Homo-oligomer: A and B are copies of this chain.
Amino acid sequence: MVTIYDVANKAGVGMKTVSRVLNDEAHVRPAMRARVLQAIEELGYRPNLAARQLAANRSFLISFIMNDVTSSYQTSMLVAASAECRRRNYHLVVEIMEPDESATGLVERVMANLRPDGIMLVPPLSNDADLIQAIANRGTKLVRVAATLQGYGHVVPVRDTEVSQKLVAHLLASGKKRIALIAPPYAKAAAHERVTGYKLALAAAELPLESDYIVQGDFTFASGKSATERLLGLPQPPDAIFAANDAMALGAMAVLQQRGIGIPEDMAVAGFDDSPGSRTVYPPLTTVRQPISGMARDAIAKLLGGPVDQEPLVPELIIRGSTQVGFVETVIAQDK
């Protein structure tokens, strides 16, 4: 195993100078730096991570805590964050929070063993008060993506209001008049901007807010189904459904197809998240794609320091066949 001393010998410098070069410290002349770098190159030297962790008292690890691996939102964020960590020579360690696990237990387990330099949380955990408190108690650096809850740690904001409004406006523009909303559960604070956008769009079109048309869901496929059945049971059912996430929108579509109701002619359906399922149902689901990569980049930047995107990251409306008759799906084909 080639060590820092071998590099120092080869370059004819002191070990400390090699260390300075490795850590981009000041007070090393360019010529000397080049000599050291060449020696590193020639020897194929790689610093021992464990030794660095021990001496520098940092781990070069980021803990990514998630609670649902079937969530494409969480897994997409995982990939993007992993790529960003790689650019900085950090590594991402995945921790999965079991349904029955306590926040303090999880934090104890992760922190005590791994001692990561930072923790990254994504919804719904980024608004979990217990978890945030447990992390705050330990003083570990924290970044929370799409968090609305104030508190400890950096926050990467979401901006779902505008795009939700645009989505509902699109439904209205395509001739729909009675737009229902399958709303997010109260606990998922991060998604309430979608409700706001819905209300703003109706107000802009000077349409009344029908309370019957707003049904609470819990982000699951099953809740989308039951919400839709309730909507269909109304004296005057809606002619379009905006679900606050894709899983519920897919539930809505399943019920409509079971009953032979035409999508989008008789009932348009739209979701939120651009999940894989949204691309593979028929007709493909109109939805919203989050700027996942940019958000992950910002999250890691806030954790480790570095430039954060200045222009605000905005989600993108993806119009597909579930809201548009005669939709040409060339876009979909290349998606995967």
Contacts and interface: CB of A to CB of B under 8 A. Distances in A.
User: How many copies of this chain does one complex carry?
Assistant: 2
A336 B78 CA distance: 21
Interface in A303-334: 333
A78 to B, nearest CB: 6
B277 A257 contact: no
A109 interface: yes
Q: Secondary structure of the A side of the interface?
A: helix
Interface stretch (A10-18, A110-118, A128-136, A193-201): A110-118
B281 A254 contact: yes
A109 B86 contact: yes
A91 interface: yes
Nearest to A112: B46
B336 A222 contact: yes
Interface stretch (A49-57, A150-158, A182-190): A49-57
Interface stretch (A20-28, A173-181, A203-211, A245-253): A245-253
Contacts of A258: 282-283
A144 interface: no
Contacts of A284: 254
